[in-house]
Amino acid sequence: MEASKVVTCFLKYRDRILIARRSKEVGTYKRKWAGISGFIEGDENPIETALREIREETGIQKDKVVLLKKGKIFKVRDEKMGKMWIVHPFLFETMTGKIKLDREHKEYKWIKPSELSNYETVPQLEKSLHNVLSSDSP
Confidence of residue 136 (pLDDT cuts 50, 70, 90): confident
The pLDDT of residue 135 is 76
Percent residues over pLDDT 70 in the chain: 99
pTM above 0.85, yes or no: yes
For residue 32, the Cα-to-chain-centroid distance in whole angstroms is 12
The pLDDT of residue 71 is 94
Per-residue pLDDT, averaged over 102-128, amounts to 96
Q: Where are the domains of the chain?
A: 2-133
The pLDDT of residue 104 is 93
Q: How far is CA 72 from CA 13, 29, 64, 75, 109, in A?
A: 22, 23, 24, 10, 25
Provide the 10 A C-beta neighbour count for residue 85: 22
Please give the class, per CATH, of domain 2-133.
alpha beta
Q: State yes or no: pLDDT of 138 exceeds 90.
A: no
Per-residue pLDDT, averaged over 69-98, amounts to 95
Distance between CA atoms of 68 and 49, rounded to whole angstroms? 16
Q: Does the CA dihedral 50-54-56-60 come out positive or negative?
A: negative
Distance between CA atoms of 121 and 37, rounded to whole angstroms? 13
What torsion do the CA atoms of 48, 52, 55, 58 make, to the nearest 10 degrees?
-110
Q: State yes or no: pLDDT of 14 exceeds 80.
A: yes
